[in-house]
C-alpha cells in the first residue's frame, strides 16, 4: 500500500494502556507470563482537603491483571506516588480510578475482556481465570460485577419490549438450596423477524410470587406496553401475568404442547409394556425399540421405519398406543399447517375430541392430556392468532448452562417449528387423517399415515397380503 504511514512503536498504545491513563516504562517476559512496568500519566499534587500543593513522599507498586497478549497472562506493575500535604499532613495517592476500581485486582480492560469472552465467545470462567493469571473467584467476582453494571443496570435494555417469554431452568443439581431459576426473555425481535431474542433477567426461584415480584418491580409504562407473554403449562406464571399484566395475552408455546403429547405417548407405551411383560422395556422388545420412531413425524419416517410401525400397530394389544400416536401426530400437524386459521381449527377439533364423552375409559393418558389441554385451550389457540411467539428461544438459552461446550444443535424432527425445507417430503405436510375415538377398542386394521411417494406406499403387495390399509391422502 503506497499511502500507508507508520507511527513509532508504542507499547502503551499496543496494549491499550493509554486509554487507562497509564504509560509503559519497562517490560519483563517470563516463560509463563509477561510483566509491564507502568506509571500514571499526570500529576496529582494538590491536597484534597485544604487545596495546598503536596510533597512527594514515596512510591508504592500496585499489581493488576491485564488482558492477555501473546497467549500469556499480562501483569501490570503500576508505580503509584504518595503525597503528603505540608499544611494539614493529609496523605493521598495518585488517582488511578481510570485504570481500575479501588482494591480491584483486574484492570478495566481486563474486566471488559473477561465479560466479552464469557458472553460473546462462550468461554468458561475457569478459562478466563487461566488467561488472566488469577484465581477463579477473582475472575468470577469481577465478571459478575461488570455484567451487573453494564448489562443489568442499563436503563435502556428494557425499552421496546412488547413480547416476553418466561420459563424455569434447573441450575443446581444438589439437595441443598433452591435449584430453580426463572428466565425472562424479550421475544419482540423474534415476533417482528428483526433479530434474535434478548435475555432480560434470571431470578432465583420458580413460583408465582417470583415472577409477580419481578413484574411488579418494572415501571408501569413498561408493563402497559407488554402485549404477549409466552410461557409453558405452569399455572403460576399464568396467574402472575394475569394479575400484573391484565392487558397482555398469555400464549402457551408449541414446544410444551407437543411435549405434553409426547409424554402421554411415552406413558401409554410404558403402561402397555408393564401390562404385557410386567417389567421395563428391553432392547429386544418391540415397544422399546420403537420409542424413538414413535416421536418422529410420520412424513420423516424411512421405508423401514414405516414397516416397523405397521407391524407394531397390527397387534390387538397395541391399539391404545396407535390412537395415542395419532393424537401426537395430529397436534404436530396442526402447528405445521401452512394456514394459521386451518391449524387453529385442527387444534380446536383435536381438543374437543379429547374431552368428548365418547373417549374410551381405557385411554387414560389421552383423558389426562385432554383435561390439561382444555384447561389451557385459550392459551394454546392464541398461538395461531399471534404467530412467531414461541418460547423456543427461552429453551435454547436454558440449554446453554447445561452444556457450555456443545456441538451445533441438530433440528429436531418432531419439533412443530421445523421448516418445510428440513422435511424429506415438503409436499406431504398437510394431514387429513383423524382417529375415530367412537369405535370400541378391538382388532381393526392399522391406519398408518405414510407419504404417498415413499417406498412403503408403493409396496402394495405387502399391505394387501397383511390385510392393512394405508391411506393415500397423506
Which contiguous run of DSSP H or E holds residue 38?
A: strand 34-40
Assign 422 a pLDDT band (cuts: 50, 70, 90). very low
Q: Which three cell numbers stand for residue 25?
A: 516504562
Q: Is 151 helix (H, G, I), strand (E, B) or coil?
A: helix
Least confident of 98-112, 317-331, 427-441: 427-441
Of 182, 172, 188, which is closest to residue 232 (Cα–Cα)?
A: 182
| Rounded Cα gap, residues 29 and 57, in angstroms | 31
How do residues 159-210 score in pLDDT, each as one tens digit?
889 999 998 888 888 887 778 899 999 999 888 888 888 888 888 888 999 9
Provide CB contacts within 8 A for 313, sequence distance 6+. 319, 321, 322, 325, 446, 448
Of 386, 392, 448, 450, which is closest to residue 416 (Cα–Cα)?
A: 392
- pTM, two decimals, is 0.65
Assign 2 a pLDDT band (cuts: 50, 70, 90). low
Q: Which three cell numbers stand for residue 145?
A: 460485577
| Rounded Cα gap, residues 267 and 98, in angstroms | 62
pLDDT of 443 higher than 70: no
How do residues 41-57 score in pLDDT, each as one tens digit?
988 888 888 888 888 88
Amino acid at each position: 500500500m503506497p499511502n500507508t504511514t507508520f507511527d513509532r512503536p508504542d507499547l502503551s498504545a499496543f496494549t491499550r494502556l493509554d486509554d487507562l491513563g497509564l504509560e509503559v516504562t519497562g517490560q519483563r517476559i517470563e516463560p509463563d507470563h509477561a510483566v509491564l512496568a507502568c506509571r500514571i500519566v499526570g500529576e496529582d499534587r494538590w491536597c484534597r482537603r485544604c487545596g495546598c500543593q503536596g510533597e512527594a513522599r514515596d512510591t508504592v507498586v500496585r499489581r493488576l491483571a491485564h488482558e492477555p497478549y501473546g497467549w500469556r497472562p499480562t501483569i501490570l506493575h503500576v508505580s503509584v506516588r504518595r503525597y503528603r500535604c505540608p499544611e494539614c499532613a493529609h496523605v493521598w495517592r495518585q488517582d488511578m480510578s481510570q485504570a481500575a476500581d479501588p482494591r480491584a485486582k483486574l484492570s478495566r480492560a481486563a474486566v471488559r475482556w473477561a465479560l466479552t469472552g464469557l458472553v460473546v465467545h462462550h468461554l468458561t470462567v475457569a478459562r478466563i481465570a487461566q488467561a488472566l493469571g488469577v484465581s477463579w473467584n477473582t475472575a468470577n467476582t469481577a465478571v459478575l460485577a461488570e455484567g451487573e453494571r453494564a448489562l443489568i443496570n442499563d436503563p435502556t435494555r428494557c425499552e421496546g419490549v412488547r413480547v416476553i417469554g418466561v420459563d424455569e431452568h434447573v441450575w443446581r443439581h444438589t439437595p441443598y438450596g433452591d435449584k430453580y431459576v426463572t428466565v425472562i426473555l424479550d421475544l419482540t425481535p423474534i415476533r417482528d423477524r428483526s433479530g434474535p431474542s434478548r435475555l432480560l433477567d434470571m431470578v432465583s426461584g420458580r413460583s408465582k410470587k417470583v415472577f409477580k415480584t419481578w413484574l411488579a418491580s418494572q415501571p408501569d409504562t413498561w408493563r402497559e406496553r407488554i402485549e404477549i407473554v409466552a410461557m409453558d403449562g405452569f399455572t403460576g406464571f399464568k396467574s402472575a401475568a394475569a394479575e400484573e399484566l391484565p392487558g397482555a395475552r398469555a400464549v402457551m408455546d408449541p414446544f410444551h404442547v407437543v411435549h405434553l403429547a409426547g409424554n402421554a405417548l411415552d406413558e401409554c407405551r410404558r403402561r402397555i409394556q408393564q401390562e404385557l411383560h410386567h417389567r421395563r422395556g428391553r432392547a429386544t422388545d418391540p415397544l422399546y425399540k420403537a420409542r424413538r420412531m414413535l416421536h418422529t413425524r410420520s412424513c420423516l419416517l424411512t421405508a423401514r421405519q414405516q414397516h416397523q410401525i405397521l407391524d407394531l400397530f397390527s397387534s390387538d394389544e397395541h391399539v391404545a398406543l396407535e390412537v395415542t400416536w395419532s393424537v401426537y401426530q395430529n397436534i404436530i400437524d396442526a402447528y405445521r399447517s401452512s394456514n394459521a386459521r386451518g391449524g387453529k381449527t385442527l387444534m380446536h377439533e383435536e381438543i374437543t375430541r379429547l374431552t368428548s364423552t365418547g373417549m374410551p375409559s381405557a385411554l387414560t393418558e389421552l383423558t389426562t392430556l385432554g383435561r390439561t389441554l382444555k384447561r389451557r385451550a385459550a392459551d394454546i389457540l392464541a398461538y395461531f392468532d399471534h404467530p412467531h411467539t414461541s418460547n423456543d428461544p427461552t429453551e435454547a438459552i436454558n440449554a446453554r448452562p447445561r452444556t457450555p461446550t456443545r456441538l451445533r444443535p441438530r433440528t429436531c424432527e418432531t419439533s412443530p417449528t421445523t421448516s418445510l425445507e428440513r422435511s424429506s417430503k415438503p409436499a406431504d405436510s398437510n394431514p387429513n387423517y383423524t382417529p375415530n375415538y367412537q369405535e370400541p377398542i378391538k382388532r381393526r386394521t392399522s391406519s398408518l399415515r405414510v407419504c404417498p411417494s415413499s417406498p412403503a406406499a408403493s409396496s402394495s403387495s405387502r399391505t394387501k397380503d397383511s390385510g392393512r390399509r394405508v391411506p393415500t391422502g397423506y
